[in-house]
């Protein structure tokens, strides 16, 4: 159920982010830049839509036979010499990881990016048990050093400025004070993390795709950190949600073509590594985690959210995410997909997230596996209303609106009064705490006439001269 | 009797299975390029790599001679007969950690993909797979006849019937984690050259 710490709703956390106007715009721009790169990359392939269609179908097919495919994967992975573990909950997952580490009397673990281990809060658990975990994806490492969670699933440190990273590195790595040059900072991190790679006893990775047909799995990175992390130490632990399963290696043709292009606009990630069994003399452990996923399968409305390949495109395009920052969602996976997944775990705690959406539908347009994100968010709003989890002011506003819309005369009179009165009201009266819409923006100007009046006049004049037709935009 | 996590997860999935949905096949049409070799070269360049067309090993050596990294490299591994000079013999390396000081590795690649400039490599060729990621600079030698158009053609050639490691490598290691500035040489190789050899 709800955690002990007081949970805060999205509007409240977002308000803190927007309070710094310049930074909010900078964040918005950075992500829009990535979104534009995605558009360009998708346009290089005439078969883009066909790829999305096939990828989506592969996922839906896999779901319809999920248990068989997981069993097939397990069988084949074991035949290749891997050890397969199953975990219902984050706690079970964390215990399994710790068990493997302790069996090897190890204390130094290098980890490459994995949203699943974030979801399980693995790092703090291991640290409490005396294990030193180093996140080796540069962005993840930066947020780890700052003691905060990632704010984006592909670009964990997208919210941090280079000046801040320069200061952090100066304090912790002894880089020059005031240095902000990215190549210089990256190089400093490279030196430090090389030591960690060479000293690690265990390498831990996530899994992008697990192949039932072969018993192998694929990990995608740009930095090569996953590969360094698991090719030096003898033990590799791979943690995956059960929805990462796909039937055949050939299906990767769809997913790898879509993933990099959707995520950052690259034609493919720099490294797409296929692991089939442990390396000679090594050990490979694969942990399959449920944590609520099998329940999502049961729901026709939200099942498709399990298609997600975690490319982050829906976040990059989302006008709310871009302007409110990943941390404002208070979940491991933020943005549109996170706002669907989080309430499936705990509807009460995350009730504000499906409302952090303008229903513009842009996420649905860019999603490479055709998740109908904005529809699902709308469905969530209805479910939450049925569960009485919609906050009082929203419910009040909605019932007021419903009452007005049900009485056309009231709507007309209200509109007429508003048009007269609003332009004369002092700002204080309009922009107050009862008008959340006007918090970070101006209300539109009141028109002189209502739409109804304009329409009536237009009908009277009957023939509309062409220069009065609305300009196309 | 306690039920295992495995049985409980599989049971929960089976109780919730959605209706059957058909599995799509892998047939195309997928993109074809008039000149896959130059497509490969231009994509590789765009992602920070370097593509050099050569006729034979002698031409690789000629190019290496003009490559500052090669002149400066103290520790080298070459598994392409005749290309560059091998200072350390892979056969004598027992522990992958011993490869920490490799400046340049010249290694064979199985085949390449024009659409995304990825080269397929495996551990069968190199003994310690970490060499692809740990060396400061990487050069892969691929036969020019082994360039396929797209990733679907690539998977059509791959089999995974023995325990092994394989990877698509597309360009040098990179990161954009500091304010979206692209920096080449994150943890892995700081440069990647692909020799397409006739
Ligand atoms: S929901 Fe779609 S767009 Fe969003 S991260 Fe998942 S796959 Fe990408």
Provide DSSP, B125-175. Answer: GTSSTTHHHHSSEEEEEEEGGGEESSHHHHHHH----SSEEEEEE-SS-EE
What torsion, rounded to 10 degrees, do the Cα atoms A170, A171, A173, A174 define?
A: 60
Residue whose pair of structure tokens reads 């490559």 in the numeric block: B67
User: Is A300 in contact with B17 (Cβ distance < 8 A)?
Assistant: no
For testing the chain A interface, which of B128, B163, B177 should be mutated: the one with the most A CBs within 10 Å?
A: B177
Contacts of A22 (CB under 8 A, 6+ apart): none
Q: What percent of chain A has pLDDT over 70?
A: 95
Judge whether B177 is closer than 8 Å to chain A, CB to CB: yes
Q: Output the average pLDDT for chain A.
A: 91
Query: Residue A181: how many CA atoms within 13 Å on its side-chain side?
Result: 8
User: A273: buried, middle or exposed (CB in 10 Å: 19+, 13-18, 0-12)?
Assistant: buried
Query: Could you tell me if B2 lies within 8 Å of chain A, comparing CB atoms?
Result: no
**Nearest chain B CA: its distance from A472 CA (Å):** 36
Considering the entire predicted model, what is its pTM?
A: 0.91
Confirm or reject: Cβ of A369 under 6 Å from ligand 1: yes
All residues at 6 or more sequence positions from A258 whose CB lies less than 8 Å from its CB, including other chains: A51, A52, A55, A309, A311, A368, A369
Q: Which of A84, A162, A164, A270 is most worth mutating to test chain B (most B CB atoms within 10 A of its CB)? A: A270
Contact B74, B87 (CB under 8 A): yes
In this complex, the residue of B26, B165, B177 whose CB is nearest that of residue A274 is B165
pLDDT of residue A472: 47
User: Are the C-beta atoms of residues B158 and A249 closer than 8 Å to each other?
Assistant: yes
Measured between CB atoms, does B100 come within 8 Å of chain A? Answer: yes
Q: Which residues pair with B54 in a beta bridge?
A: B197
Q: For residue B165, give the chain A residue with the closest CA.
A: A275
B145–chain A nearest CA distance, Å: 21
Using CA positions, which residue lies closest to atom 4 of ligand 1?
Answer: A314
Which residue is listed with tokens 């909950």?
A89
Strand partners, A275: A217, B165
| CA distance from start to end of chain A | 49
Question: How far apart are the C-alpha atoms of A415 and A408, rounded to whole Å?
Answer: 10
Distance, CA of A415 to CA of A409 (rounded, Å): 10
> In angstroms, rounded to a whole number, what is the distance separating the alpha carbons of residues B65 and B52?
13
Q: Which residues pair with A204 in a beta bridge?
A: A111, A237
A309 lines ligand 1 (CB under 6 A): yes
Q: What is the arrangement of strands in the sheet containing B76-78, beginning at the earlier edge strand?
A: B50-54, B191-197, B137-143, B104-108, B76-78
Atom of ligand 1 nearest to the CA of A366: 3
pLDDT < 70 stretches in chain A: 1-6, 463-473
- Whether B8 contacts chain A with CB within 8 A: yes
Residue ranges of A 65-94 with Cβ closer than 8 A to chain B: 65-67, 70-71, 80-81, 86-88, 92
pLDDT tens digits, one per residue of B112-149: 999 999 999 999 989 999 999 999 999 999 999 999 99
Angstroms from A354 CA to nearest CA on chain B = 24
What pLDDT was estimated at residue A2?
37
**B16 near A297, Cβ under 8 Å?**
yes
Question: What is the atom index within ligand 1 of the atom nearest the CA of A335?
Answer: 4
CA distance A71 to chain B (A): 9
Q: What's the CA gap between A290 and A296, in Å, rounded?
A: 10
Window A:187-226, CB contacts with B under 8 Å: 187, 190, 193-194, 197-198, 211, 214, 216, 222-225
Contacts of B94 in chain A (CB under 8 A): none
Q: Which residues of A fall within a CB distance of 8 Å from B163?
A: 80-81, 276-278
Measured in degrees and rounded to the nearest 5, phi and psi for residue A335 equal 70, -170
Query: What is this model's ipTM?
Result: 0.96
The minimum CA-CA distance between A19 and chain B, rounded to whole Å, is 21
> Would you say the CB of residue A265 lies under 6 angstroms from ligand 1?
no
| Short-list B190, B117, B153, CA closest to A267 | B117
Residues in chain A: 473
Taking only the tens of pLDDT, chain B with its 198 residues reads: 468 999 999 999 999 888 889 999 999 899 999 999 999 999 999 999 999 999 999 999 999 999 998 988 899 999 999 999 878 888 889 999 999 999 999 999 999 999 999 999 999 989 999 999 999 999 999 999 999 999 999 999 999 887 689 999 999 999 999 998 999 999 999 999 999 999
> Taking CB atoms and an 8 Å cutoff, what residues of chain A touch B155?
249-250, 252-253
Distance A101 CA to ligand 1 centre (A): 33
What gap in Å lies between CA B20 and CA A207, rounded to an integer?
A: 26
Give me the residues of A, 8-67, that contact B with CB < 8 A: 30, 33-34, 45-47, 53-54, 57-58, 60-61, 63-67
Strands B118-122 and B111-113: antiparallel
Chain length of chain B: 198
Q: Which residues from chain B sit within 8 angstroms of residue A277, using beta carbons? A: 163-164
Using the beta-carbon criterion (under 8 Å), do B152 and A157 form an inter-chain contact?
no
Q: Taking a contact as any Cβ pair under 8 Å apart, which residues of chain B between 11 and 30 contact chain A?
A: 12-24, 26, 28-30
**Omega before A373 cis (within 30°)?**
no
Would you state the pLDDT for residue A466?
Answer: 53
Q: Which of A268, A469, A312, A111 is nearest to B43 (CA)?
A: A268
Look-up of token digits 């720099």: A270
Distance from CA of B43 to the nearest CA of A (A): 8
- Is A281 within 8 Å of chain B by CB? no
Contacts of A180 (CB under 8 A, 6+ apart): A162, A163, A165, A166
């Amino acid at each position: 159920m709800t955690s002990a710490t007081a949970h805060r709703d999205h509007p409240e956390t977002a308000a803190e982010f927007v309070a710094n106007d310049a930074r909010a715009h900078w964040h918005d721009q950075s992500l829009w830049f990535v979104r534009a790169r995605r558009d360009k990359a998708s346009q290089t392939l005439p078969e883009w839509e066909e790829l999305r269609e096939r990828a989506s179908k592969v996922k839906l097919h896999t779901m319809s036979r999920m248990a068989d495919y997981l069993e097939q994967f397990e069988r084949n992975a074991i035949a290749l010499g891997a050890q397969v573990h199953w975990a219902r909950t984050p706690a079970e997952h964390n215990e399994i990881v710790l068990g493997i580490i302790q069996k090897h009397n190890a204390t130094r673990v290098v980890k490459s990016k994995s949203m699943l281990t974030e979801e399980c809060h693995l790092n703090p658990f291991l640290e409490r048990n005396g294990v030193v975990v180093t996140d080796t994806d540069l962005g993840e490492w930066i947020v780890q050093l700052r003691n905060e969670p990632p704010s984006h699933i592909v670009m964990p440190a997208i919210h941090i400025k280079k000046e801040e990273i320069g200061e952090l590195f100066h304090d912790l790595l002894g880089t020059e004070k005031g240095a902000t040059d990215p190549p210089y900072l990256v190089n400093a991190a490279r030196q430090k993390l090389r030591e960690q790679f060479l000293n690690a006893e265990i390498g831990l990775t996530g899994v992008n795709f697990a192949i039932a047909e072969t018993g192998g799995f694929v990990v995608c990175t740009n930095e090569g950190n996953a590969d360094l992390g698991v090719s030096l130490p003898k033990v590799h632990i791979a943690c995956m949600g059960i929805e990462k399963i796909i039937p055949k290696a050939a299906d990767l043709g769809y997913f790898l073509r879509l993933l990099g292009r959707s995520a950052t606009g690259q034609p493919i990630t720099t490294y797409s590594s296929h692991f089939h069994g442990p390396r000679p003399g090594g050990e490979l452990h694969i942990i399959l985690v449920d944590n609520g996923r099998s329940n999502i399968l049961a729901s026709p409305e939200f099942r498709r959210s399990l298609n997600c390949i975690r490319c982050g495109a829906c976040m990059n395009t989302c006008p709310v995410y871009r302007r409110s920052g990943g941390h404002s969602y208070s979940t491991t996976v933020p943005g549109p997909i996170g706002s669907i997944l989080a309430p499936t775990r705990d509807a009460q705690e995350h009730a504000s997230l499906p409302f952090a959406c303008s229903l513009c539908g842009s996420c649905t347009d860019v999603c490479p596996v055709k998740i109908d994100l904005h529809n699902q968010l709308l469905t969530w709003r209805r479910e939450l209303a049925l569960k009485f989890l919609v906050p009082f002011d929203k419910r009040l506003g909605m019932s007021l609106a419903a009452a007005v819309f049900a009485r056309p005369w009231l709507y007309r009179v209200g509109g007429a009064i508003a048009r007269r009165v609003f332009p004369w009201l002092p700002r204080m009266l309009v922009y107050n705490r009862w008008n959340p819409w006007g918090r970070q923006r101006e209300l539109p100007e009141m028109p002189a006439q209502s739409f109804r009046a304009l329409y009536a006049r237009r009908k009277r004049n009957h023939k509309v001269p062409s220069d009065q037709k609305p300009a196309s935009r | 009797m306690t039920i295992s996590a495995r049985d409980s997860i599989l049971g929960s999935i089976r109780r919730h299975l959605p209706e059957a949905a058909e599995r799509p096949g892998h047939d195309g049409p997928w993109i074809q390029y008039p000149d896959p070799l130059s497509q490969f070269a231009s994509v590789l360049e765009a992602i920070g790599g370097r593509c050099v067309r050569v006729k034979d090993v002698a031409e690789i050596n000629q190019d290496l001679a003009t490559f500052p990294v090669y002149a400066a490299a103290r520790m080298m591994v070459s598994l392409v007969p005749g290309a560059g000079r091998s200072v350390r013999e892979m056969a004598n390396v027992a522990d992958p950690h011993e490869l920490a000081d490799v400046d340049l590795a010249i290694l064979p690649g199985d085949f390449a993909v024009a659409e995304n400039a990825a080269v397929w490599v495996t551990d069968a060729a190199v003994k310690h797979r970490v060499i692809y990621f740990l060396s400061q600079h990487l050069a892969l030698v691929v036969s020019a006849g082994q360039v396929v158009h797209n990733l679907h053609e690539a998977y059509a050639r791959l089999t995974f019937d023995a325990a092994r490691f394989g990877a698509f490598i597309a360009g040098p290691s990179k990161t954009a984690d500091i304010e979206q500035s692209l920096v080449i040489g994150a943890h892995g190789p700081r440069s990647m050259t692909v020799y397409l050899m006739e």
